[in-house]
A and B are shown apart, each in its own frame.
Chain A
Amino acid sequence: MTALLRMEIGKLGRLASVRFSAVVLVIFPLLWAYAPGIFDVYGFFLVSGFQVPALALLSSMEFLLPLLIAIACAELIGIELNHGTLPTVLLRPVTRAQWLLAKLLVASIYPFLAMGFFLLTSLVAGAAFGYGPFVGGTGLGRQGLLGAGTMLPIDAWREVLQAYLIAAYSLMPIGLLAVLFAVVLMNAAGGALATLATLIVMQLLIVFPAVTPYLLTTQLSAYVAPASPLGWVATLIAFYCAAFAAAAVIVFERKDF
């Protein structure tokens, strides 16, 4: 299992979608940091470097980040299909479940790696505004970007780190869902598209208020405005992850190659 996991982590950097995501995650915060019309459109000025990661996250969590995560995680399966290496690996004395669990584990880790990188590029992009005390908010706390007086760097760090951590956690089931669909369809593009279609349908289900708190898409805003207590949100996300992973293993166990 260790050899498998080492092999799968090593492959991450080889994925075209991961490389593409890295480029997007470098450019995206720069757009916010140097956008000339930000006041005209949103009615505020950036006053701190901490606000760049916040704006980058707020503007990408609904579609861009789920898209990047879904594509990369579906490609974890797709790379084997492209190279024809899936049967080769399965002919070794590893069980199918072990092989897929290694993939699922990498798909679970990937949102944290991507969000860590995104935070880093956002902080670099916001460096021109400085990271000292500032009047206003990060955009990730209760007071929004306007804040309530002077914000100390330690509080800003806490808000930003917490938001990125929660965001990464809430993106985990999307990665696992992409792996599940890629396994079902045996196609990376199909897996990513099916994942996005599922998320879009879920977003439309907000017209059923009774199910809204349970939707995966509702949890995507947990980093800034959790619909329920964070403990409940964490449990629900863990349930989604377990369900998607179990379904992927069950389907994969009976696949013909």
Chain B
Amino acid sequence: MEPAIETNALTKRYGARTIVRDFSFAVHPGEVYALVGPNGAGKTTVIRLVSGLAFPTSGTVRMLGHDPHETPAVRRRLGAVVEAPAAFYPYMSGRSNLRLHADLAGGVPAARVDEVLEQVELGDAADRKVGVYSLGMRQRLGVAAALLTRPAVLILDEPASGMDPLSLHLVHGVLRDAASSGTSVLLSTHHLDEVVAYCTHVGIMEEGALIDEVDLRHRGARVRVQVDDLERAQRALAAESWARDLSVRGRDLVFGLETPTALDHVAPTLASAGVALRSLGDDSFDLRAYYRERVEQERARRTGVDGRRGADA
């Protein structure tokens, strides 16, 4: 399946400072991809590069097969909120703002405005001026504006910003529904709990680089082993077709299984490779811990010192 969003070696520099470096990723239809990372990691810049608001210094962006700069018409199939809180004309009502967006997008039936307002539960406040909206209401209006055109691609920068738990739950549901109907969703966030709740993929960013990607769909069917020789164990398991997505996490080896019965092969395979198995168990995936570990590892690698100084989450 062709990715709806794809970047290749995307790099953005402002003067001598590199904000995004060599960033390659893809989001396919039906996927919800969350960019997470400490403040200043470059998440918002990636969102702006992908949506065509900023120009890459090098590398490419493709949205539904097109460069959004060369083919602005592709934005007809894009719904995006790149400001937090979502930006609207404060002197106009929520409904009037959405009508304006519908006019600019073209081809949006008048009834669709009411439909998306109801979807984000702003029907009662639709005729109030946006200037009196709370932060959470503005964010929900932003999501409504993004959904207006029934987009194939949804891009949201910090959609949870300023939302109360009920609004958050509502918006999660809306995004999950959009993804289940084939929309590709890309969002940036600091809220790792919300990510686990409804995202399919997580991209961890640090200092402008994508340092890791996690496929959350497979997080439940994974095994974690502790061994005396990590490298030898990795080589042995990599040679087996039933072991998938091998990754090193700290001093452990984590991998998925082709079938649940493949678990019976783990200990014999390691033993025949001369590796002592210290422990074997389910990998209950803790995104928050994983994120901290990966960011700290990356900082330590970059600076050559232990980076355990607490990454923002």
Residue positions of A touching B, CB distance < 8 A:
3-4, 6-7, 11, 14, 83-85, 87-95, 254, 256-257
- In this complex, what residue of A is CB-closest to B83? A84
Instruction: Report the stretch among B29-37, B68-76, B254-262, B296-304 that lies at the interface.
Output: B68-76
Task: Given the known inter-chain contacts A7-B103, A93-B105, A94-B72, please indicate yes or no for A85 contacting B89, CB distance below 8 A.
Answer: yes
Known: A6-B103, A93-B75. 6 other contacts (CB 8 A): A7-B103, A83-B90, A84-B87, A85-B88, A85-B89, A91-B78
Residue positions of B touching A, CB distance < 8 A:
48, 51-55, 72-76, 78, 80, 82-83, 86-91, 100-101, 103-106, 145
Assess the A7–B54 pair: CB atoms within 8 A: no
A-B contact count (CB 8 A): 65
Assess the A257–B88 pair: CB atoms within 8 A: no
Choose one: A4, A256, A257; the contact of B104 (CB below 8 Å): A4
Contacts of A95 in B (CB 8 A): 72
Assess the B53–A89 pair: CB atoms within 8 A: no
CA of A90 to CA of B90, assembled, Å: 18
Assess the A256–B54 pair: CB atoms within 8 A: yes
Assess the B87–A3 pair: CB atoms within 8 A: no
Give 27 CB contacts A-B under 8 Å.
Answer: A3-B103, A3-B104, A4-B104, A7-B103, A7-B104, A11-B89, A83-B88, A83-B90, A87-B48, A87-B53, A87-B83, A87-B87, A88-B86, A88-B88, A88-B145, A91-B53, A91-B75, A92-B101, A92-B104, A92-B105, A93-B72, A93-B73, A93-B74, A95-B72, A256-B53, A256-B54, A257-B54
Assess the A254–B55 pair: CB atoms within 8 A: yes
Contacts of B48 in A (CB 8 A): 87, 256-257
Contacts of A3 in B (CB 8 A): 100, 103-104, 106
Task: Given the known inter-chain contacts A84-B83, A88-B83, please indicate yes or no for A93 contacting B76, CB distance below 8 A.
Answer: yes
CA of A89 to CA of B104, assembled, Å: 8
Shortest C-beta distance, B247 to chain A (Å), equals 35
Contacts of A4 in B (CB 8 A): 104
CA of A133 to CA of B90, assembled, Å: 51
Shortest C-beta distance, B103 to chain A (Å), equals 4
Contacts of A83 in B (CB 8 A): 87-90
Shortest C-beta distance, A182 to chain B (Å), equals 18
CA of A168 to CA of B250, assembled, Å: 72
CA of A92 to CA of B81, assembled, Å: 11
Assess the A93–B106 pair: CB atoms within 8 A: yes
Contacts of A257 in B (CB 8 A): 48, 53-54
Task: Given the known inter-chain contacts A91-B80, A256-B54, please indicate yes or no for A14 contacting B101, CB distance below 8 A.
Answer: no
CA of A11 to CA of B90, assembled, Å: 12
CA of A89 to CA of B72, assembled, Å: 12
Contacts of B90 in A (CB 8 A): 83
Contacts of A88 in B (CB 8 A): 82-83, 86-88, 101, 145
Shortest C-beta distance, A5 to chain B (Å), equals 11
Shortest C-beta distance, A68 to chain B (Å), equals 22
- In this complex, what residue of B is CB-closest to A79? B89
Which 8 pairs between the two chains have the least Cβ-Cβ distance? A84-B87, A3-B103, A256-B54, A92-B104, A257-B53, A93-B76, A93-B75, A91-B80
Assess the B55–A256 pair: CB atoms within 8 A: yes
Shortest C-beta distance, B64 to chain A (Å), equals 12
Greatest chain A CB density within 10 A among B89, B91, B101 is at B89
